[in-house]
Amino acid sequence: MLDEPWHDEIPPGFTKPSYSNPDLWSPRSQLYAIPSRLLDVSSPVFGHTATQEGDNDLIGKESLALGEEILVVGRVTDSWGRPAAGMLLEIWQANAAGRYRHKNDPRLKPVDPHFTGAGRTLTATDGSYWFRTIKPGAYPWGSDVDAWRAQHIHFSISGRGLSERLITQMLFPGDPLIDRDIIVHNVRDEKAKGLLISRIDWTMSVPERAIAYRFDIVLGGTCGTPTE
Amino acid sequence: MPTPRTVLGPYFTLALEPHELPALHSDSQNGAVIRVHGRLYGADGKPVPFGMIETQQPEGLTRSEIQPDGRFEIVTVKPAAAAGRAPHLSVMIQIASQVRRAFTFLYFPEDDHSQDVVLQMVDEGRRSGLIAQRVADGYRVDLHISGPDETPLFELVPA
Query: Interface pTM (ipTM) of the complex?
Result: 0.93
Verdict on whether the full-model pTM lies above 0.95: no
Q: How far is CA B36 from CA A86, A193, B20, B31, B74, in A?
A: 30, 39, 11, 16, 5
User: What stretch of H or E contains A193?
Assistant: helix A190-194
pLDDT tens by residue, A130-140 = 999 999 999 98
Q: A-B interface: how many C-beta pairs under 8 angstroms?
A: 210
Query: Are B68 and B110 within 8 A, CB to CB?
Result: no
- What is the DSSP secondary structure assignment for residue A194, as one 8-state letter? H
Helix (H, G, I), strand (E, B) or coil at B23: helix
- Strands B154-157, A32-35: pairing kind: parallel
User: What sign does the CA torsion over A39, A40, A45, A46 have?
Assistant: positive
pLDDT tens by residue, A79-136 = 889 999 999 999 999 999 999 999 888 888 999 999 999 999 999 999 999 999 999 9
Q: Do A41 and B59 touch (CB under 8 A)?
A: no
Partners of A171 in the beta sheet? A152, A197
Q: Where are the alpha helices (DSSP H) in chain B?
A: none
Q: Which of A44, A49, A195 is the closest to B59 by Cβ?
A: A44
Alpha-carbon distance A42 to A39, whole Å? Answer: 6
CA–CA min distance A72, chain B (Å): 16
> Which residues of chain B make contact with A222, given a CB cutoff of 8 A?
156-158
Alpha-carbon distance B97 to B40, whole Å? Answer: 14
Query: Are A125 and A82 within 8 A, CB to CB?
Result: no
Query: Are A11 and A180 within 8 A, CB to CB?
Result: yes
The values of phi and psi at residue A73, to 5°, are -125, 160
pLDDT tens by residue, B46-73 = 999 999 999 999 888 999 999 999 999 9
User: Is residue A149 among the annotated active site residues?
Assistant: yes
> Does B42 contact A at CB distance below 8 Å?
yes
Q: Which residues 6+ apart lie within 8 Å of A228 measured at CB?
A: none
pLDDT tens by residue, A171-218 = 999 999 999 999 999 998 889 999 999 999 999 999 999 999 999 999
Q: Which residues 6+ apart lie within 8 Å of A18 measured at CB?
A: none
